[in-house]
């Protein structure tokens, strides 16, 4: 019995029969985003992430196929935590104009401010407003403006993820979050591990500002095949940039380069650090080999030049780390580093 004055909480368990009869995931945008799921689209600055996010969102809003991929029609809310004036005045209207969408079929909504999804009262207010209309998708651009705390804090991450899951449960909408890549690791978004691990789908964007092209690649679906990849050419139209599919645009492959003496020494120092301090980590984001914390590797690199100043050592390590990563020799995750095969 619950204490007097308190409601007894009933927890619902699923039987084996119930588990086996859970519904198959449904696609909001086929091959890209599932219904009632979370997705993160990440890439460097100026990779055209925001234009691709608008393209996806307005395809859902209008119900037209997203570049020959079937779409489930539904309402869309764009949360523009920065640059909201341009999003609302130019980018969204320009996409509609480019695709010749009639005025009465332009139904997207815009929230033109930062939002705090790690604050329960703000999440409650958002859900209440969303329930006044039917929303199939919320696009949050950009991730860093969607919380009161820091994007690298565990406490903030747990509260934010809890808020996102509430939105999914109580509205049935999917959530697409746009984020920048990390400072040390360009293979993942700049955020705490708890954020990163919470997304059902990860979409990586690589852009070429000079060529006006971009690729979008599915890096992971938790519950579906993760093989989708599309190339786009960004075209000027009606005061904005609109992605058009282009099969000739493909992901850029890292070209192998001969290692300099400095970079070779840093790579050898990584071998030494792994031999002395390497550990195995387990999970889908970790490699099947030993990894070591970046700080341990740094110490071994600094030992190579005992006579240099602290600033010279720091700059040399940064150069070597960047060159080895860009050359495909090393990879990072959660402040750890390892050597790539080959």
Report whether pLDDT(98) > 80: yes
Higher-confidence position of 104 and 257: 104
pLDDT given for residue 252 in this prediction: 61
Contacts of 25 (CB under 8 A, 6+ apart): 34, 35, 37, 223, 224
Give the pLDDT confidence score for residue 6 in this predicted structure.
55
83: left (phi over 0), alpha (psi -120 to 50) or beta: left
pLDDT of residue 294: 93
Q: What is the mean pLDDT of the chain?
A: 91
Q: Which long-range contacts (CB under 8 A, 24 or more apart) does 119-128 make?
A: 119/148, 119/159, 119/163, 120/159, 120/163, 122/163, 123/163, 123/166, 123/167, 126/167, 127/166, 127/167, 127/170, 127/171
What residues does 205 pair with on adjacent strands?
Answer: 216
Over residues 164-188, the mean pLDDT reads 90
pLDDT of residue 14: 94
Rg (CA), the chain: 23
Of the candidate ranges 4-13, 75-84, 86-95, 167-176, the one whose mean pLDDT is the lowest? 4-13
Please state the three-class secondary structure of 7-20 as a single string: CCCCCCCCCHHHHH
Domains of the chain: 24-245 (3.40.50.300), 261-339 (1.10.10)
């Amino acid at each position: 019995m619950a204490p007097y004055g308190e409601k007894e909480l009933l927890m619902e368990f699923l039987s084996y029969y119930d588990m086996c009869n859970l519904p198959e995931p449904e696609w909001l945008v086929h091959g890209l985003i599932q219904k009632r799921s979370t997705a993160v689209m990440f890439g460097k600055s100026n990779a055209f992430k925001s234009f691709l996010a608008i393209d996806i969102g307005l395809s859902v809003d209008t119900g037209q196929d997203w570049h020959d991929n079937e779409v489930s029609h539904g309402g869309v809310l764009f949360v523009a935590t920065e640059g909201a004036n341009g999003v609302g005045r130019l980018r969204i209207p320009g996409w509609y104009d480019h695709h010749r969408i009639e005025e009465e079929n332009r139904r997207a909504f815009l929230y033109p401010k930062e939002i705090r999804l790690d604050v329960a009262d703000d999440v409650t207010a958002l859900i209440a407003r969303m329930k006044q209309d039917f929303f199939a998708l919320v696009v949050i651009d950009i991730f860093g403006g969607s919380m009161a705390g820091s994007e690298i804090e565990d406490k903030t991450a747990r509260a934010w993820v809890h808020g996102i899951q509430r939105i999914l449960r109580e509205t049935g909408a999917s959530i697409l979050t746009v984020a920048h890549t990390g400072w040390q690791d360009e293979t993942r978004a700049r955020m705490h591990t708890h954020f990163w691990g919470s997304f059902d789908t990860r979409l990586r964007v690589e852009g070429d500002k000079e060529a006006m092209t971009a690729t979008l690649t599915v890096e992971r679906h938790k519950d579906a095949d993760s093989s989708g990849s599309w190339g786009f050419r960004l075209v000027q139209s009606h005061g904005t940039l609109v992605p058009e599919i282009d099969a000739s645009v493909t992901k850029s492959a890292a070209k192998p380069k001969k290692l300099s003496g400095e970079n070779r020494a840093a790579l050898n120092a990584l071998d030494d650090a792994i031999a002395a301090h390497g550990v195995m980590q387990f999970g889908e984001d970790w490699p099947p080999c030993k990894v070591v914390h970046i700080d341990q590797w740094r110490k071994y690199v600094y030992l190579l030049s005992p006579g240099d100043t602290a600033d010279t050592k720091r700059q040399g390590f940064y150069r070597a780390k960047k060159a080895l990563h860009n050359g495909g020799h090393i990879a990072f995750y959660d402040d750890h580093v390892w050597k790539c095969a080959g």
